[in-house]
Structure 1
Amino acid sequence: MSLLPQVLRSLPHDGWLLFIARSARMFAYGFLAVVLALYLDRIGISAKGIGLLLTLTLVGDTAISLWLTTVADRFGRKKMLVVGAGLMLLAGGVFAATTNYPLLVLAATVGVISPSGNEVGPFLPIEQASLTQLVGNKERTGVFAWYSLAGSVASAVGAIFGGGLAQGLINAGWSPVASYRLLLVVYAGVGALLWVLFRRLTPAAESPRDESAPAAAPSFLAARLGLHRSFHLVLKMSGLFALDAFGGGFIPQSIMAYWFYLRFGVEPGLLGSIFFVANLLAAVSALAAARVAARIGLIRTMVFTHLPSNILLILVPLMPNLPLAIAVLLLRFSISQMDVPTRQSYTMAVVSPDELSAAAGITGVARTTGAAISPIFTGIFLANAALWNVPFFLAGGLKIIYDLSLYRSLQAVKPPEE
């Protein structure tokens, strides 16, 4: 008997390629989040400079993602994924090759690089669109949960790999800068691997042609964004998701790792272990999300699990010592990601088949845009020891507002399976 869960047994060739690409990419994002801020600090960039660079990184990723995802259904999902892989290779290569701040800003803006350990660039929206048409409505949330699990486990392994390798090289006599730079070379190598994987996708991953006319002619803006029937709903979701990401952007994983370093003097090896466990807990929660959603619905699952996780986020900096801070952080991670596969599945369920890439891309860009604004303020807070805890409070508070607004605005819009 196969050890694979039922929902994955019928996944076609293209689906498995997308799962492998997701895992490889999140592995790279995981180890980069542990060392990126430390690397920038070691090469002489100030806390404010780090915050600005991270903001510009996300701004660039936003623009690239919007461009590639809104044309993917028309010009080819495979082509856009290959372009994204090339931009990831470019960013990692430049970060490894130079410490020149303007060049780093240029590479961060044009290329694809993740300062948070989370998805950036065009990959996730286009992959979600392809997976949605490769599976049925009943299997969609389950496939997205396993897809999220694959990413979380890979990110966890990447975190412990990055922290452990950097610490091991430092203990062996390497300078911190040299050890962190090696990881940037590995990051660029993962970009090259993605390029190879995406080249193997078949036409089954491409967008189907919807020959039926939309209920009304799309506006100029909607047409430019690749939308028609779902334009207003996508805008509403985008606004809500942007608020959530704006809150989360105050304390992305790389900044959280930096905060533990500033507050408690935690070394890279322990940082890697902390976020390894955290991402494993997040992975398990993603699987649980599919079962919960089958009972209470996608929107309720998103809200009822996200609210307590945000309260725990606010409590992390209030802990008096390192063990308690780690414990609360891990408890928070154990439920914080249950909204991810449910949010992704919901977005794909309520739009037309030929709007999938565009809808996923626009809502994803909204999240990236929200997240891009916050780090510049976080850099200011981290430059003053008296304000180190403020990012946690802002993040948790804004995310709670998002949860309440989401429930009020979208609870009446049901996906087909509900």
Structure 2
Amino acid sequence: MKAMISTAFTPANCVFASRALRDFADAFVAILLPVYLLSLGFSPLQVGIVATASLFGSALLTICVGLIGARLDLRALLLVAAVWMVATGVAMSSASDYLPLLAIAFVGTMNPSAGSVSVFVPLEHAVLARETPDRQRTSMFANYSLIGALASALGGLAAATPDLMTKLGLDQLTAIKLMFVLYAMLGLLGGLFYSRIPPRPPSRELDKPAPLGPSRAIVVKLAALFSLDAFAGGFAVQSLLALWLFERFELSLSQAGVFFFWTGILSAFSFPVAARLSKRIGLVNTMVFTHIPSSIALALAALAPSLTLALGFLLVRAALSQMDVPTRSSYVMAVVTDAERAAAASFTSVPRSLAAAASPALAGALFAASYRAWPFLICAALKIVYDLLLLRKFRHVKPPEEMR
């Protein structure tokens, strides 16, 4: 029995379980956040500013992780992050004025993108990378992303819960506040899984003044490119996409929840496909040649004259746009040394978070000016530029498994 429990609570399985809980929570929060803010009387521009504050705050937290992650136990840092998620949910359920909400978004763990922009991600990447051989690394990250995406799809369905609560006599604002309480409870449960990861203090060789060493140049180049991708993605974070669907086509919460469930399902099953495809054409090629068609689909959705066409193109985008997630994570972990992995994961995430933080406010301004399609067109164009630059700069930089 003890052996079975030990096998079930491997570090990788604990990370998978915590990722599932967190992505489930992030997904319903990303959809409910604009509804909550609009119900409180705030404008689309103010919604965009809250999303910007959340992403910018995540960037600062991730910078801290990058600076200290190479010198502290990853398990301890994950537990602190889980406690912070609990505090964020409790605070959001209690606040209704704009400035406190803005402050909570900035200092908390709330994720308006319902994706991989989170202080948890670089820590989990480092734990998974140290537990996985090179040949299994991409598959491990594909499974990690698959579990997160499936949980996110279910979280999209859960966003319809306030509609169900209103039928039982609760008002919508109270129902949404209860969902933030659920967010806090899921953070607590995730922390229990993190607590099962064995503590592993860093070795003495990591006690260096700089957390990055021989791989500094390649990490800087990747970080610059990832920042462009993230800046583009910030124009189409899930909260803003939900806002567009609410305002452009008057979708209800229930309809939006079902739609985001299916986008999550499509994204989820694209991850194992990405892992298999990368074995045939390589990690960089997989990132680029799946990303470009997804950007084209986003642009077509923005210009679609009907709800059916818009949702169709967005579903195509969902099936392709996230295939670079496990491959990108695997690639970063592959081209740096083991001692640099926690720092590399953080320092490639930081510019993503910082760059993504700038664009939601710009998108909100465009929404407020009734240029609702422009954020998605800008997103698509910039992402295609990123893909072409990534292919040019890194097509010859191979991970170990591709050099055999």
Q: Taking structure 1 as the reference length, what is the TM-score of the superposition? A: 0.92
Structure 1 SS opposite 2:236: coil
Matched, 1:104 2:101: yes
Distance in 2 between the 1:284 and 1:30 partners? 17
User: Of the candidates 229, 232, 235, which is equivalent to residue 247 of structure 1?
Assistant: 232
Equivalent residue runs for 1:270-285 within 5 Å: 270-285=255-270
Correspondence for 1:403: 387
Deviation at 1:64, TM superposition (A): 0.7
In the TM superposition, structure 1's runs of 4+ consecutive aligned residues that sit over 3 Å from their partners are: 206-211
Distance in 2 between the 1:123 and 1:396 partners? 27
Distance in 1 between the 2:367 and 2:319 partners? 26
Distance 1:398 1:97, change over 3 A: same
CA offset digits 1:254-298 (Å, max 9, x no partner) = 110110000000000000000100010001111100110000100
CA contact (8 A) 2:62 2:119 kept: yes
Matched, 1:59 2:56: yes
Deviation at 1:176, TM superposition (A): 1.8
CA offset digits 1:76-125 (Å, max 9, x no partner) = 11111111111111111111101122211221111111111113332111
- Which letter maps to 2:172? P
Matched, 1:26 2:23: yes
Deviation at 1:12, TM superposition (A): 7.0
Identify the range of structure 1 (106-115 vs 65-74) with the bigger mean alpha-carbon deviation: 65-74
Correspondence for 1:189: 185
Distance in 2 between the 1:288 and 1:121 partners? 24
Matched, 1:415 2:399: yes
CA contact (8 A) 1:246 1:372 kept: yes
Matched, 1:365 2:313: no
Correspondence for 2:307: 322
- Which letter maps to 1:180? I
Correspondence for 2:248: 263
Structure 2 SS opposite 1:117: coil
- Which letter maps to 2:400? P
Equivalent residue runs for 1:308-347 within 5 Å: 308-347=293-332
Matched, 1:139 2:136: yes
Correspondence for 1:199: 195
CA contact (8 A) 2:48 2:363 kept: yes
Equivalent residue runs for 1:147-296 within 5 Å: 147-163=144-160, 165-203=161-199, 207=202, 210=205, 223-224=209-210, 226-296=211-281
CA contact (8 A) 1:282 1:333 kept: yes
Q: How many residues are matched?
A: 396
Correspondence for 2:288: 303
Distance in 1 between the 2:126 and 2:9 partners? 15
Matched, 1:356 2:341: yes
Q: Percent identity?
A: 38
- Which letter maps to 1:184? F
Distance 1:46 1:336, change over 3 A: same
Distance in 2 between the 1:364 and 1:95 partners? 25
Identify the range of structure 1 (95-104 vs 242-251) with the bigger mean alpha-carbon deviation: 95-104
Matched, 1:13 2:10: yes
Instruction: Give ranges in structure 1 of 5+ residues lacking alignment.
Output: 1-9
Equivalent residue runs for 1:42-53 within 5 Å: 42-53=39-50
Structure 1 SS opposite 2:118: coil
- Which letter maps to 1:327? G
CA contact (8 A) 1:11 1:135 kept: no
CA contact (8 A) 1:89 1:188 kept: yes
CA contact (8 A) 1:96 1:184 kept: yes
Structure 1 SS opposite 2:71: helix
CA contact (8 A) 1:112 1:120 kept: no
Instruction: Give ranges in structure 2 of 5+ residues lacking alignment.
Output: 1-6
Distance in 2 between the 1:89 and 1:354 partners? 31
CA offset digits 1:19-70 (Å, max 9, x no partner) = 1011110000111111111101111222221111111111111101110233
Q: Taking structure 2 as the reference length, what is the TM-score of the superposition? A: 0.95
Distance in 1 between the 2:37 and 2:198 partners? 40
CA offset digits 1:312-365 (Å, max 9, x no partner) = 111102111111111110011111111110000000000010111110011111
CA contact (8 A) 2:150 2:265 kept: yes
Distance in 2 between the 1:362 and 1:18 partners? 20
Structure 2 SS opposite 1:229: coil
Distance in 1 between the 2:132 and 2:258 partners? 35
Distance in 2 between the 1:136 and 1:335 partners? 27
Distance in 2 between the 1:89 and 1:297 partners? 39
Distance in 1 between the 2:173 and 2:61 partners? 29
Correspondence for 1:128: 125
